Amino acid sequence: MISGPRAIVLFATLLVLATAAAFGLSRLYATPRTLDLTPPPEYVAAPVPVTADLPAATPVSGQLVDQDWLERTARRTGIPTPALRAYADAQISRVGGCDIGWTTLAGIGWVESHHGTIDGRSLTVDGRSEPPIIGVALDGVGPVAAIRATPESTAWHGDPTWEHAVGPMQFLRSSWEPWAADGDRDGVMDPHDLDDAAATAARYLCASGHDLDSGTTWASAIHSYNHAQEYVDAVHAAATAYAQRAAR
């Protein structure tokens, strides 16, 4: 087991400082379309819970993050321990090949599925949502795009007509396959396993080849995950809140 609580908290603190400094710029982040991603005044991030009585966790096989840090930070942030383990291990392992903080992955995990607990689901000790998470049909109705299912993706979600994102980090099969990673090193790559999904998200976000340690590269990466300003704002708000609470 690798013990790295101080390094992780330091990175979380640096993320807060870097993103706070970036918000002082008139042109906050550069993307291919040069968007102004400053959160609008009326924007209010979804609340991030703080749970004081999370049960203690037993280290799992292959875990990289220090157990004391894991339990302490889970209590401070309210992130379920299996989810926090997945995010922290993805950072420590550098599975994506770039510097990406656990807070960034936690911000995405919160926005996508409340760390696998959305709609009253429970998260098992090995990082699986019960029941599994299947996203809405991407049928072109309302704000969603129209994406036809393939035989391969139908095997994931059961819909022969329309595509669905699956798992706690909400991957389409087409975006999963190029970046899939075995986050818990059990020999299986499964989008419903948060250890694998967090590691795969890290690989996807690092695909540009840049470290996510500046406002420009960070926002471009998050924007590639979901092409919406509101999404980048929400992930930024959650990631920053988690970094602040972890550093208390």
Q: Which of 100, 112, 65, 111 is nearest to 84 (CA)?
A: 65
Euclidean distance between CA atoms 21 and 30, whole angstroms: 15
- Transcribe the chain into DSSP letters: ----HHHHHHHHHHHHHHHHHHTTSSS----TT----PPPTT--PPP----S-PPP-PPPTT--S-HHHHHHHHHHH---HHHHHHHHHHHHHTTTSS---HHHHHHHHHHHHTTTTGGG-EE-TTSBEESPPB---BBSSTTS-B-B--HHHHHHHS-SSBB--BTTTTB-HHHHTTT---TT-SS---TTBHHHHHHHHHHHHGGGS--S-SHHHHHHHHHHHS--HHHHHHHHHHHHHHHHHHT-
Q: Which tokens sit at 140?
A: 């072109």
Q: Are 88 and 102 in contact (CB under 8 A)?
A: yes
- Span 24-45, pLDDT tens digits: 221 112 222 223 333 333 333 3
Q: What is the pTM of this model?
A: 0.78
Q: Which of 116, 80, 94, 96 is nearest to 203 (CA)?
A: 96
Is pLDDT at 246 greater than 60 in this prediction?
yes
Q: Which tokens sit at 86?
A: 């997945």
Is pLDDT at 20 greater than 60 in this prediction?
no
pLDDT at 57: 65
Euclidean distance between CA atoms 127 and 185, whole angstroms: 13
pLDDT-derived band at 49, boundaries 50, 70, 90: very low
pLDDT-derived band at 216, boundaries 50, 70, 90: confident
Average pLDDT value for the chain: 79
